[in-house]
């Protein structure tokens, strides 16, 4: 299996899913889909030994060869790690969905098609080496996530959440495309690997910072960073398997991947360090603070995801400092990148399991409202155990993997004091303070999620369904993830050497030249002289106290102004754009074809005339012209007189006769210029047109309908000016194009090859059938479709008449 084929394998399988859903009704469609991610996990696992040794792999499939655009799959430590997460978590999500999604009530064919489409999109994002193909897959993630979030499209909130997520992420994607184009122009290549090699030269160019900011906009919107995070809570209207897959382990990590992949290009700039670190740390605090306010289980997890993504983002920013230091500090700050990748893995395990547990609670009780829940520990003991493991890991409690990466995060923020450039040794003191405060709220919402749900008083009267433990099949996937949470805590360095170190080598190839025992050893205990230890103890103490007095301080959320929230700003912007667009379009969308023609013809005059004026393209040359004969002048006069007669006559019959005269005169020109086929076509069309006009003579509008009033005279003057302008413009373009031919006429090529290569004697017929065969085929297809439509309308009309007679 090639790497490119592995990327497209899910979407290829998706083509047959609707058929399986319809034909194989006895077996859940998910069992067939499960084979895809499982096979891909096994495939990517074969690359682990060689990637650990520093090998890289590349595969290419041409896409648009004329523009040198290809699907280039580049597999190194970073892309392999993400590929394993995408397929591994994908396999667990599909297994979970088999028991969560009811095959009789749900349109599983659609669901799994969207899911596999998304899997292909994510694999393409993390493996693409070409910027344009990366953008293609990037937007495919937005489209497929839109379909998945809006899967229950009959619900208003699902449609709203899907649209909101797409509006924000597609906006970021367009900004990112701008950054890609700037990079491609500056580096004269769209290959990420080649751009990395040119990083010092790119940094000296004027547009470098613009490219940096535009790329970060794409990353921040996709990874739900402040202030773009507002789409993520609304995306929780998606089915829980979607939330567990897209919004905890994969799609929201795409922005983190982008930052990691482009760090070697942009980390040279202080703007990158401050933006990535600053936005990340603010997002961490904002998300953790507002997570405590939520009452919906998935909303709590959504804000906690925002917070955790901010944590990883800030670590990537701190890790970028490694490009600005030397000596032992290289290992110090490279360790921050190591911590970022480690927490990315940990977050996928504990957050994936928690999303699945939230889905189980909703599935078995009928609600996700934490105010109605409580006392479920005895009724759902396995779910409680898994939720407890995931929540304590998220809180950073020892014996769970989240504790290890959280300690590394706190330590990394403290190490910024050793960096005396870009004001990090002064303003940088705020970063560990914000990190500590945010970690306190993280501890609070973690306890809030698990204990308010499973402990306390049971409220069966408030539950739509009688609570009971989930079927074992639904517990397998979150159980596996919860097991990994514990296992990783005890064997972190196995994960570190197998997956994290190769990923860090891909992000910071220059900074990776440090001894493993110095920079990349994960420890649960750092001794009593570690400042991170006392920060952690403070987090546990203050966080537990805040949790115990939760009802006393949470009313502070009610004091916050609701009119100035980011969500209200987004809603207002959407209403303003929608209303403004409607008002603007109502000005020109009048329903009058006459008005639309005026707009189009005016645009032709302005655009073509302006272009020719700017480019100084008006050239008139009378060389190589045939002499004009008397009868050609005579026919031209007849043509002009006939056209003017149509415009000024008040008689319908005269207008029809004049129109026919114009058409037949044009046919005479075709005969003179030796184009008998065009002349015959013109004669047939004119004959039919005149006959049709005469047949509908009494139904035609009166010629003097628009004769009265000053407004009508002005309107006719406007038409005259537009018509005159188009006529003059087309004439000038024709004369200019004839006067400055840049290449030889293709007519000579037809003359030389029409008989020898096409095997025909009539040059016109051969051009139509051979050289322009597809064009002719499409024209015939259009006529066929139109004919079938006419036959259908006539048939329906006849059938309706017969029905009326019978009644």
Tokens of 253: 């990590």
What is the DSSP-derived secondary structure letter of residue 762? -
What is the C-alpha separation between 343 and 350, in angstroms, rounded? Answer: 10
Report how far residue 664's alpha carbon sits from residue 686's, in angstroms, rounded to the nearest whole number: 7
Burial class (CB in 10 A: 0-12, 13-18, 19+), 330: buried
Q: Is 769 exposed, middle or buried (0-12, 13-18, 19+ CB in 10 A)?
A: middle
Q: 711 pLDDT band (50/70/90 cuts)?
A: very low
pLDDT score, position 517? 52
- 21-60, pLDDT tens digit by residue? 777 777 888 999 999 999 999 999 999 999 998 899 999 9
pLDDT score, position 278:
95
Q: What is the pLDDT averaged over residues 179-188?
A: 96
**Among the ranges given (44-48, 152-156, 497-501, 587-591), the one the predictor scored with the smallest mean pLDDT:** 587-591
With contact defined as beta carbons under 8 Å apart, do 186 and 207 qualify?
yes
Q: Please tell me the distance from the alpha carbon of residue 577 to that of residue 571, in angstroms, as a whole number.
A: 10
| The predicted structure's pLDDT at residue 676 | 82
Q: Give residue 681's pLDDT.
A: 87
Q: What is the pLDDT of residue 617?
A: 82
Task: Determine the Cα–Cα distance for residues 498 and 81; give it in Å rounded to an integer.
Answer: 10
pLDDT at position 759 is 79
Q: Which of 96-105, 427-436, 541-550, 573-582 has the highest mean pLDDT?
A: 541-550
Structure tokens at 411: 């330590």
pLDDT tens, 311-333?
A: 999 999 999 998 888 777 788 88
The phi and psi torsions of 250 (rounded to 5 degrees) equal -125, -75
Q: Half-sphere exposure of residue 458, counting CA atoms within 13 Å on the CB side? A: 12
- Would you say residue 83 has pLDDT above 90? yes
Residue 308's Cα: distance from chain center in Å? 22
Mean pLDDT for the stretch of residues 554-571:
85
d(CA 134, CA 127): 8
Residues 254, 122: contact at Cβ < 8 Å? yes
Q: Tell me: pLDDT of 12 over 90.
A: yes
Does pLDDT of 709 surpass 70?
no
Tracing tokens 């009508």 back to the chain, one arrives at 712
The sign of the CA dihedral 583, 584, 585, 588 is: positive
715-768: per-residue pLDDT in tens? 577 788 888 899 999 888 888 887 777 777 777 888 888 888 877 777 877 887
More confident site: 384 or 25? 384
- The H or E element that residue 72 is part of is strand 69-75
């Amino acid at each position: 299996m090639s790497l490119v084929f592995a990327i497209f394998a899910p979407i290829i399988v998706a083509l047959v899913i609707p058929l399986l859903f319809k034909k194989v009704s006895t077996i859940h469609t998910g069992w067939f889909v499960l084979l895809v991610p499982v096979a891909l996990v096994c495939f990517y696992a074969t690359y682990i030994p060689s990637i650990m040794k520093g090998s890289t792999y590349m595969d290419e499939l041409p896409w648009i060869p004329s523009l040198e655009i290809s699907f280039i799959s580049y597999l190194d430590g970073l892309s392999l790690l993400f590929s394993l997460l995408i397929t591994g978590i994908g396999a667990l999500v599909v297994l979970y969905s088999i028991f969560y999604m009811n095959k009789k009530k749900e349109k599983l064919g659609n669901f799994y098609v969207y899911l596999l489409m998304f899997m292909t999109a994510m694999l393409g994002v993390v493996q693409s080496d070409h910027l344009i193909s990366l953008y293609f897959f990037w937007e495919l993630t937005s489209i497929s996530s839109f379909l998945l979030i809006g899967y229950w499209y009959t619900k208003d909130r699902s449609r709203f959440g899907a649209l909101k997520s797409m509006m924000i992420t597609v906006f970021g994607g367009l900004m990112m495309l701008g950054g890609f184009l700037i990079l491609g122009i500056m580096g004269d290549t769209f290959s990420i690997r080649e751009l990395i090699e040119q990083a010092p030269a790119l940094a000296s160019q004027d547009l470098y910072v613009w490219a940096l900011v535009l790329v970060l906009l794409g990353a921040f919107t996709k990874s739900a960073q402040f202030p773009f995070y507002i789409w993520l809570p609304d995306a929780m209207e998606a089915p829980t398997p979607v939330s567990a897959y897209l919004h905890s382990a994969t799609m929201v990590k795409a922005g983190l991947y982008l930052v990691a992949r482009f760090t070697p290009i942009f980390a040279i700039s202080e703007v990158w360090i401050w933006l990535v670190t600053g936005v990340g740390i603010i997002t961490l605090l904002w998300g953790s603070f507002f997570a405590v306010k939520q009452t919906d289980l998935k909303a709590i997890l959504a804000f906690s995801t925002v917070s955790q993504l901010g944590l990883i983002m800030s670590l990537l920013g701190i890790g970028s400092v490694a490009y600005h230091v030397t000596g032992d500090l290289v290992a110090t700050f490279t360790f921050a990148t190591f911590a970022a990748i480690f927490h990315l893995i940990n977050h996928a395990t504990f957050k994936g399991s928690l999303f699945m547990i939230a889905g189980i609670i909703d599935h078995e009780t009928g609600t996700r409202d934490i105010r109605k829940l409580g006392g479920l520990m005895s009724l759902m003991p396995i779910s409680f155990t898994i939720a407890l493991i995931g929540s304590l890991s998220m809180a950073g409690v020892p014996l769970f993997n989240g504790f290890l990466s959280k300690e590394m995060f706190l330590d990394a923020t403290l190490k910024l004091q050793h960096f005396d450039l870009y004001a990090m040794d002064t303003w940088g003191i705020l970063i560990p303070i914000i990190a500590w405060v945010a970690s306190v709220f993280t501890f609070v919402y973690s306890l809030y999620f698990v204990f308010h749900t499973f402990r306390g008083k049971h409220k069966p009267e408030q539950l739509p369904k009688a609570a009971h433990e989930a079927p074992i099949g639904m517990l397998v996937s979150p159980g596996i993830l919860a097991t990994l949470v514990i296992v990783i805590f005890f064997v972190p360095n196995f994960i570190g050497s197998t997956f994290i170190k190769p990923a860090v080598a891909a992000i910071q190839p220059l900074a990776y030249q440090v001894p493993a025992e110095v920079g990349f050893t994960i420890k649960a205990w750092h001794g009593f002289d570690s400042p991170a230890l006392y920060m952690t103890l403070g987090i546990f103490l203050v966080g537990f106290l805040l949790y115990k007095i939760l009802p006393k301080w949470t009313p502070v959320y009610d004091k916050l102004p609701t009119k100035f929230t980011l969500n209200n700003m987004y809603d207002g912007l959407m209403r303003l754009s929608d209303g403004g667009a409607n008002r603007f379009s109502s000005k020109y969308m009048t329903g009058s074809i006459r008005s639309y023609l005026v707009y189009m013809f005016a645009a032709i005059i302005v655009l073509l005339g302006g272009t020719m004026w700017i480019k100084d393209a008006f050239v008139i040359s009378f060389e190589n012209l045939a002499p004009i004969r008397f009868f050609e002048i005579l026919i031209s006069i007849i043509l002009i007189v006939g056209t003017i007669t149509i415009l000024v006559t008040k008689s319908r019959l005269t207008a029809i006769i004049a129109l026919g005269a114009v058409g037949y005169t044009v046919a005479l020109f075709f005969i003179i210029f030796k184009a008998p086929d065009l002349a015959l076509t013109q004669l047939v069309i004119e004959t039919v047109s005149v006959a049709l006009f005469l047949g509908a003579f009494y139904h035609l509008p009166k010629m003097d309908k628009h004769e009265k009033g000053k407004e009508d005279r002005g309107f006719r003057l406007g038409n005259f000016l537009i018509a005159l302008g188009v006529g003059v413009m087309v004439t000038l373009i024709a004369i200019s194009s004839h006067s400055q031919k840049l290449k030889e006429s293709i007519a000579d090529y037809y003359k030389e090859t029409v008989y020898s290569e096409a095997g025909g004697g009539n040059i016109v017929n051969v051009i139509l059938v051979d050289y322009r065969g597809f064009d002719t085929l499409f024209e015939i297809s259009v006529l066929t479709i139109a004919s079938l439509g006419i036959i259908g309308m006539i048939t329906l009309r006849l059938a309706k008449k017969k029905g009326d007679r019978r009644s």
